[in-house]
Amino acid sequence: MKLPGTKALVTLLKFIVSIGILVLIMRGQNFWSLKADLLAVDVTMLALSVLLLFAQTFMLCHRWILILRAMGVSLDWLAGWRILIISTFFNQVMPAGGDAVRIWLLRRHGEQWSQTISSIVADRFLAMLALVVIILAGMPFLLPRVSDSSLLFAIMAVLAFACLGVITLVTLSWWPPRVVAALPAKIVQFVMLVRAPLLASEGRMTLIASAIVIHLMTVTACYVLGIGLGAQLSALDAFVLVPLVILSSAVPISIGGWGVREGAMVAALGLAGIASDKALAISVLLGLGGLIVGLFGGLVWLVAPERANFSSDKVQAVAEPADAAPV
């Protein structure tokens, strides 16, 4: 059981991490140069990047719907997209985050706790697997760029762990019963949970493809922003380096990835010779694009039928079992 105030304390710590990293980054930057870059970005390229991030919500919804179907949950596509776009708004404005809101809204459609939380956990993990696939595809181009042995070791360790996880997912049903029984129950439950959509006969390839495309849309948005800022970011550089930024910002130690994303973007694009001020501007504009999509989700929330009987206290209560789920 969590102590009273634990959720607020975690949120405060995440806020401190975001602000702290941003302050450290800005200490080595020229604020006026960053401001000039942000104001000078090509409006067409900026609009295209926001459009890509908005279109990404449809792919995110499609992936989630496929996962729900594999778990025996039938959810109308439009309702699923409405829930997902609303969750992007609350991910920006509520400590409980978008996942808790997504669970609460899905519960309003009559689904059980186990199904709602399981679909979110599986969605997170499959997104991570797709990201690892992209990083592995870019490894032949990444290795020559990395001269720091500790950084290379960290990247390889993450990839090795992910590959081990995939092997476990695929082969668990072949393991001797005694070995499976010796594993922690939560790990076995989690593996069986993620296996369901991956082994489903219907929509499996579409699920994997959509998970990969979602990340490539973020990569493309960064590439477009690079063009809009006049940064010498090639399509290959974006494909190889931006997934590392996505992986870093997925670590839940900051608010909405702010700070962590900016630090990772500066470090990653620096491997391609991109100036730190340009890399920082790309990251900030990417974050602002996400905010714009989130604000659209807020507009959808104003007219959503699920808005009845909503309260932040109920969503905070939902966040507790969601946080307890294995990730």
Between CA 297 and CA 84 the distance in angstroms is 8
Non-local (6+) Cβ contacts of 180 within 8 A are 172, 188
Give the highest mean pLDDT range of 97-106, 123-132, 177-186: 123-132
Q: Which two tokens stand for residue 63?
A: 């992936």
**112: phi then psi, degrees, rounded to nearest 5:** -80, 160
Between CA 17 and CA 7 the distance in angstroms is 15
* 3 backbone φψ class: left, alpha, beta (φ>0; ψ -120 to 50): beta
Between CA 323 and CA 255 the distance in angstroms is 15
Look at residue 310 in the predicted model and tell me its pLDDT.
Answer: 60
In this structure, the chain runs to a length of 327
Burial of 205 (0-12, 13-18, 19+ CB in 10 A): exposed
Other C-beta atoms closer than 10 Å to the C-beta of 14 total 19
Q: Tens of pLDDT along 59-79?
A: 999 999 988 888 788 888 998
pLDDT at 325 over 60: no
pLDDT at 123 over 60: yes
Residue spans per domain, the chain: 6-324
pTM of the model: 0.84
Q: Tens of pLDDT along 154-213?
A: 778 877 877 787 777 767 778 888 887 887 777 777 777 677 676 666 667 888 899 999
